[in-house]
Each structure stands twice: as C-alpha cells, then as structure tokens.
Structure 1
Amino acid sequence: MRVLVVMDPIENINLKKDTTIAMLWAAKRRGHTLGYALQDDLFIDAGKAFGTIAPLNVFEDYADRNGHYFELGDKQRESLASYDVILMRKDPPFDLRFIYSTYILEQAEREGAWIINKPQSLRDCNEKLFATQFSELQVPTLVTSQESLIREFLATYGDIIVKPLDGMGGTGIFRLTVGSPNVGSTLEMLTILGTQPIMAQRYIPEIVDGDKRILMINGEPVPYCLARIPQAGETRGNLAAGGRGEARPLTDKDKAIAAKIGPTLREKGLVFVGLDVIGEYVTEINVTSPTCVREIDAQFGTSIADDLFAVLEQGRH
C-alpha cells in the first residue's frame, strides 16, 4: 500500500516512546511505501484534496546509524487520494487548525482514501465528552461552565477531579476537596470566568494503582494495557506528567469495558483508539493520536503496529 502519515515534525519526536514511528517501522517492514506531510502541507485545489508530500524512509536500526532514524525526499504535489491509507497522527491541541485539516482529509476520503481515524469522528468525538456516551461505565460526571453546579457537585461527592475538555498529557487537571482554599480561583481559571464548559468527576481512589490505557484496533482490544502509575503525591498518572508505565494483561473487567465500547468505535470508523480506565471506570476515549504502543511492546514482546497494519491491509483488499 501507499501510506501517508500526517504528523508533527518527525525530527522532534521522542524516539524512545513515539507510537507513530512504530507504525512507520511496521509499514516499512511489511513492504509499504511511505509519504510524510505536516498539517500545513494539506490543501484543496479546485475541489480536490492535495498535499505537498515528501517520500519518507525510516530506520529501525538507528542505533547503528548514529541515531539517523529517517530520511525525507523532495516534497512534491500529490493527490491525497493516491494514497491507500492516511494516518492522521497530529497530536493535540485539537484547535481550529486541526479541524480544518479534517475537512481537507474528508475531501480525500470522498475521493477514495481511507483515513485513520475517520475525519468526521475526529471532530465529533471529543476525548472527554465521547466517554459520557457510556455513562454506565463512568463515575458521576458533570460537564458545565457554571461554577454553582460544580460547587454543588463538590458538596455532594466531597472529592472531585476537574479538567478542561481540550487538555492532553494531564495538563489542567486539578483535584478539589470540600474546604480546598482555591476552589473559586481554580474554577474561574478552568472555565475562563464561566464562559467555557469543563468536566468534573468524582475522584477515583484506584488511581494509585494506575490509569490504564487500553488500545483498541478496529473495535477489538490489544491483550495488554499500560497502567500509568502516578508519582508519590501526584493525582495524575499521565506519562507526560511523570507517571510510570507498567504493562499488564487485560482483566476480565477491562475486556468487558472494551466489548461495550468496541462496536461504537467500529461504527464511527475509529480504527485506532485508546481507552483510559481507572479502576473499572472509563475516564476518556482517545481518538486523535493514541500512544503507549512502545511501552507495551517493550514489556510484552508484542508488535501492536503490525496488528494495526494487518487490519489495514485486510481492509484495503
């Protein structure tokens, strides 16, 4: 297949843990041709989707190449639909620029390209709000911009987490308890003085055992998850916030959660997704550029990116 990746600058990735490079290595091993583009390289001309795209080569043996892990050819104008699969791996923020990119990719989809994940669903499925469609799998959760409602929620549950709807990597997450001295200022800051909705959730004590990332490929769970365990004194397990990653086999409860959510993911064209689970509760459903492949592969000898490409190859035949 011809595979195009739309990502952040490849020269800036964290080579030890980046999931996108694992996908590119798998694609190369399996004989596929790679192209590379940034968001700014995508455009529409006369109603058709194009990109200024560079041929890409990647090297798994980068340690033997003095850290040289990729090579880019000269950019050239190409139809996006000339690629069989387009991996949309641009990291958040999920901003207007990202949304405009999904419109361009949607045009490529109309012309026959397969976008992973489906552009409309990238727009529709906010990673915090999408999880509220499965309320039976969540702790008590409130989404509002009204400080009074959040204060009532805090009074009811006594110990809550508040977070922005567009954050990533644990940024902007606060734990509030009844009597906390900074409740007002925290809520004013997160809601931008009551103009922006945020999410409040009852605190889940099981966070001390890890915030589990369950990876889903075409609605089916990878057999192992990554438990991200917070540092001492920290309420966030995110690796970007200093959490430690420990790969584990899925529990029966994890599998039951995946079984409930999987059919909706397939229906929405969300082929590669990360479920965030604390205890037995889903907190987020990550659809933009889920990570943690490398950590699970390293600890269990899996090759999750190969599993993904096995599905993609089957889907294009």
Structure 2
Amino acid sequence: MTHLVPSGRTQDMSLNVAVQMDPIAAVKIAGDSTFALMLKAQERGHKLWHYLAKDLSWTGGAVRARARPVEVRAVEGDHFTLGEEEMIDLGTDIDVVLMRQDPPFDIAYITATHLLEMVREKTLIVNDPVEVRNAPEKLFVLRYADLMPDTMITRSADDVRAFRDKHGAVVVKPLHGKGGEAVFKLDEDDGNLGALVELFGEIFKEPFIAQAFLPAVVEGDKRIVLVDGEAVGAVNRLPKKGEIRSNFAAGGSGAKTELTEREQEICARIGPDLKARGLIFVGIDVIGGLLTEINVTSPTGIVAIDRYNGTDIPGRIWDAIEGRL
C-alpha cells in the first residue's frame, strides 16, 4: 500500500490504526468500548482500518489483513462508513493494532495472537498478543489467589461436591466463558450438580471453574478499569431480580461507584504486573472486596464509567498508547 505513511511517527502525527474486531454493523454504539476507542482515535486525527480475525494471513514473512478504511460517528443506525477493501501489511503499514474481537478464547483466538506476535516488534499491539494468550481471564487471576474467593479448577463431580460441602453454595462456570454465559449457582441442597458436571464435560474439553458463592453479589459486581496498570474508574454492575449474574450482557444494570480502600489495594497489587506485561487496557471484576476475574482479551465498561463519572477513559487509553509510541 504505497499511499500509507510508514510507521515510526511521533505523538503529534496521525497514526494508522487497524482494529481487529467483530463486524462493525452489529456494534451497539451506546455502550461499546471498541467503538468508543475508535471515536476517540478518529477525534485525534488517526486513520482507522477495520478487519476481522479471519482476514489475517501470513506470506513471505509478512502478516497481512484484508482491511477496509472506516469512518465512525455516534449516530445510531448510521454509525460507520467503510471504504474499499485493501490488503495491508500490519508490520509496515500500521502503527497500532487494537485486538478487540470478542471471545470465546478458542483456538481461532489463540491463532490470531500467534500471527500478531510476529509483528509486535514493529507495530504496537493492544493488548500485547503474547500476554493475552498467556492470560485467559479465569486462569490468569489465579496468580493472585490470596485476593480471590476460594476457587477450584476441576472436571470432577466429587471434587465439586466436597467443595460445596465446605462452602454451602458454589458458582460453577466455564473456564473460557464470557458475558456471564453458562454461570450456575448450586445451593447445598441442589440436586443438579451431577447433571451439570456431565453437561459441562460433554460441551467443554477443558476443566471448569467452581467458586464459593459470594452473597455480596446482590450489592454489585464491580468492574474496575486499569490503564497501563493504573485504576482510572469503575462501575457497579447490579444483577436483575432473580439473577446472580450482573454482566451487562446478561441483563445487569449499572450504578455509579467509587473504589473502596480494599479495591485500591487490589489495583496497586496487580497494576505494576499488568503494565510490565504490555496489558494497557484491563478490566477486573471485584465482588465484596474479592477479585474474581482479570479481563484482558476485549475488556468493556468504559462507556458506562464515563457516563457516571464524566471521565474520558478512551482518552486515557490513547494517551497510554501514544506514550508507548
């Protein structure tokens, strides 16, 4: 692509930004974090390109993508305009790649991280693909087990029964699930434990996760966003009546909140590690002062946080990106 200015620009110059995401036509712009990042990039004069993970290819030592230039606007139902498709070289034509496709964190997702890893010395990938691959949400958090509720990774129904006998009620969920999908609460007298473990064994090849149920979830599951290792805001996600899941995708509602002293301690503990790993945009989940997940694949929540607090988290994220360049 001869008309693109090569990488290696200074912060006061326009950047070529490729966004690896899901189909932009399906984006719900009122709350989508990726769209908010694209709007902010465009506001700063950066040129945007849109492509899907399946559009990635490798040939002759170069990682390329069939991408289309895109302009975005905050107009429901008319939020984007795509240009003609072009083959772009992510190592020479692009300054920044935002890896923002939604999970599942499956072999296709992992393959995309391997391809992007090949250009990470030339192009800034957000978040770093190697660290994303090494930090699946419900496994990476185990590095901080002392900050978590009691947790078990297993495929054994007997293990879960013993775990439930200890805690009285447990939550069982897929190891690589998203958006609150397939999250179950099993009370101490619930007779479905065996059947649920059998079902998970048929659907998923990997183990599943069991955690002690936290009654404090009725008071909210707090999403805290960290940018370059620093907490920049939070939103309290409240489950709807009759639910334990507070994820927005599962029908949860948001509420303005502040960080408690305990939550600040959690962020201070994990923040330096996140920054060192090149995990610029991270969302963590905290219930009752206990860390439950560290989200690095395609974190969300920044639109809701900005709405409640009048902040500009997309701006903070672009400050961090431009600072690294």
TM-score, normalised via structure 2 length? 0.92
Corresponding position of 2:11: none
Q: Could you tell me which residue of structure 2 aligns to residue 311 of structure 1?
A: 320
Is the 2:175–2:208 contact (alpha carbons within 8 Å) kept by the matching residues of 1? yes
3-state SS, counterpart of residue 184 of structure 1: helix
Opposite residue 22 of structure 1, the aligned amino acid is A
Equivalent position of 1:265 in the other structure? 274
Which of 281, 287, 295 is the equivalent residue of 2:296? 287
Shift of 1:91: 0.2
Instruction: Report the Cα distance in structure 2 between the residues aligned to 1:22 and 1:195, rounded to whole angstroms.
Output: 35
> What amino acid sits opposite 1:263 in the alignment?
P
Tell whether the 8 Å contact from 1:23 to 1:305 is kept in structure 2 after alignment. yes
| 1:265/1:271 contact within 8 Å kept | yes
Distance 1:273 1:194 in 2: 26
Q: What residue in structure 2 maps to residue 104 of structure 1?
A: 115
Paired AA for residue 280 in structure 2: V
Matched, 1:42 2:56: yes
Aligned-pair identity (%): 39
Is the Cα–Cα contact under 8 Å of residues 188 and 194 in structure 1 kept in the other structure? no
Aligned pair 1:179/2:193, yes or no?
no
| C-alpha distance in 2 between matches for 1:130 and 1:247 | 28
Counterpart of 1:155 in structure 2: which amino acid? D
* Conservation of the 8 A alpha-carbon contact between 1:172 and 1:190: no
Distance 1:13 1:259, change over 3 A: same
What pairs with 1:232-251 in structure 2 (closer than 5 Å)?
232-251=241-260
Deviation at 1:247, TM superposition (A): 2.6
1:210-243 CA deviation, whole Å, 9 max, x = no partner?
Answer: 0110001011111x31111011111111111111
Structure 2 residue identity aligned to 1:97 = A
Report which stretch shifted further, 183-192 or 14-23: 183-192
Equivalent runs, 1:113-124 vs 2, <5 Å: 113-124=123-134
Query: What is the Cα deviation at residue 77 of structure 1?
Result: 1.1
Give 1:166's aligned amino acid: H
Q: 1-side partners of 2:183 and 2:200: how far apart?
A: 9
Matching residue within 36, 55, 61 for 1:22 = 36
Runs of 4 or more above 4 Å deviation: none
Write out per-residue CA displacement over residues 144-176 of structure 1, whole angstroms, 9 at most, x where no aligned residue. 111111111111111111111011111111111
1:33 lines up with 2:74 in the alignment: no
- Residue in 1 aligned with 2:97? 86
Task: Give the root-mean-square deviation of aligned CA atoms.
Answer: 1.4
- TM-score normalized by structure 1? 0.95
Tell me which amino acid in the other structure corresponds to 1:249: E
Contact 2:175 2:206 in 1 (8 A): no
- Compared with structure 1, are the counterparts of its residues 83 and 194 closer, same or farther at alpha carbon in structure 2 (3 Å cutoff)? closer
Instruction: Tell me if the contact between 2:136 and 2:297 (Cα under 8 Å) persists in the aligned partners.
Output: no
Contact 1:4 1:86 in 2 (8 A): yes
Deviation string, structure 1 residues 125-162 (Cα, Å, up to 9, x no partner): 11001111101100111111111111111111111111
Change (3 A) 1:193 1:246: closer
Deviation, structure 1 residue 300: 1.5
The DSSP-based 3-state class of the residue aligned with 2:256 is: strand
Mark the runs of 5 or more structure 2 residues left unpaired by the alignment: 1-14
Is 2:132 the counterpart of 1:132?
Answer: no
For residue 217 of structure 1, what is the aligned residue in structure 2?
227
Say if 2:198 is the partner of 1:198. no
Task: Give the letter for the 1:31 counterpart.
Answer: G
Offset, 1:16: 1.1
Kindly provide the amino acid, as one letter, of the partner of residue 230 in structure 2. E
The one-letter code sitting in structure 2 at the alignment partner of 1:259 is: A
CA distance in 1, matches of 2:111, 2:284: 25
Q: Is the 8 A contact 1:146 1:194 kept in 2?
A: no
- The answer on whether the counterparts of 1:6 and 1:38 sit within 8 Å (CA) in structure 2 is yes
Q: Aligned partner of 1:157: which letter?
A: H
Q: What displacement does 1:314 show?
A: 1.2
Question: Where does the alignment leave 5 or more consecutive residues of structure 1 unmatched?
Answer: none
